[in-house]
Amino acid sequence: MSTFSFPNQYPLYLANRPVTSNEWLDVTDKFSLKTVTQVALADNTIINQAIEAAVKAEKPMAQLKAFQKQAILLHCVRRFTERFDELTEVLVVEGGKSLTSAKAEVLRLISTFQLAADAVTQLDKGAVMPLDVTETAGRYRGMTQRVPVGAVSLISPFNFPLNLTAHKIAPAIAAGCPFVLKPASLTPVSALIMAEVLAETDLPIGAFSILPCHREGADLFVTDDRFKLLSFTGSDKVGWDMKARAGRKKVVLELGGNAAVIVEPDTDIDAALDRLITGAFIQSGQVCISVQRILAHQDIYDELKTKFVARAKLLTPADPHLASTVIGPMIKEKEAQRLKGWIDDAVQQGASVLAGGHLNGVLLEATVLENVPDSADVYQNEAFGPVVILEKYSSFDEALELVNQSRFGLQAGLYTQNLNKMLQAWDELHVGGVIINDVPTFRVDNMPYGGVKDSGLGREGIRFAIADMTEERVLVIKQ
């Protein structure tokens, strides 16, 4: 058990400095539902001051040398490592994560900043290009360079409050973009600890502000044209509404999914079972690429169903502080009740509950459904909880079609030893990533990560996020 205890209050960070405000937000332990601390809330005046400071910081941020940016990022790596236990405890309490998941996320936070520190000295800064393609242009030479877009607006989600925040902050620093970040109101402490560490660095004044605020008070993050880019991770409904109101700025959206994994007859089911269970139920299924649908070929369907259901029944929701816990609380009772309602509605439409289905406060059992009609909410939408649907298919083409019918397209998994089927899935699945012989929940922090259709726009992953936060500028010289 960690010896860390929460302070009574956390300040927000305005233009690199801690600031208190006139309004405070209670932060609760997601398992006990008790208030553990408070964070200062930003109003529109503070948000506007943060944007003004970020705009003033555009030039000094753009002028940072690679070695300076690397030193800043490596300082973060060192300090996050030193504060590992504290960060782990914060994730367990404010996020309801299991101890195992929390430790894994802190490691990914550290890795993401290390990747950014490595990338900053290896960036493709531009190229010499031939302009002498016609006789008229024969005396001209051209060169391009990548330059930062300027101040950026970042909005991070509750489910990975360290690592998904890192995937916005670290590339912004590497690209040379000042930023204003709104952390999720349910899990703001993680980002504020990151702010404490950033405040120890040599970032120019105004380079960062981290501002917890009410959703209705955060409109400037979306609509203010002083921001040159908006990066949002969250629900598809909120994300597409933001894009419609974002004006002239670039928009990057990571909006979740309805991830499916196809299991072909040549799969060793026993070998795949651990990953299928983990992909479905880790972090109580509150992962954008959590396994929501398992499509098994009819020749192995019964065997997979029997083994998967037996394993799911062994999972008991429990205190996330326990090392043995896989399923802890959902982020809040309203979300647990929403998903329980979806399960009950699917049953009314003819679905069968093979395991779980019971709700106790914020604790929802690992739930396995079968014969779910495609009109049900739990089939069409993102469950974002510990629920998995089993489906049977007869041909590989049918399985691909079932995956593609979803309005989401983040990642999909495929278990097979057949190279041609691997390549066909890569060619034909309408998703941002195809994961072979593993679950779609797999992600490494330097890979391009993002989706198509209702799953969003653009890609995260350090190098790809830096590309979004920079733009091409051409130089033409006449000789």
Catalytic residue numbers read: 254, 288
Amino acid in the structure at residue 146: R
Separation of alpha carbons 405 and 311, rounded Å: 29
Q: What DSSP assignment string belongs to 66-131? A: HHHHHHHHHHHHHHHHHTHHHHHHHHHHHH---HHHHHHHHHHHHHHHHHHHHHTTS---EEEEE-
15 contacts 42 by C-beta, under 8 angstroms = no
**424-441 CB burial, b ≥16 within 10 A, e <16:** bbeeebbbbbbbbbebbb
Q: How far is CA 74 from the centre of its chain?
A: 22
* 470-478: strand order across its sheet: 126-130, 140-148, 470-478
Q: Please measure the distance between the N-terminal and C-terminal CA atoms of the chain and give it in whole angstroms.
A: 70
Separation of alpha carbons 449 and 156, rounded Å: 15
Strand boundaries in 224-287, DSSP class E: 229-233, 250-254, 260-263
CB-based contacts of 373, cutoff 8 Å, min separation 6: 346, 349, 350, 351, 379
Helix axes 163-175, 99-119, angle to 10 degrees: 10
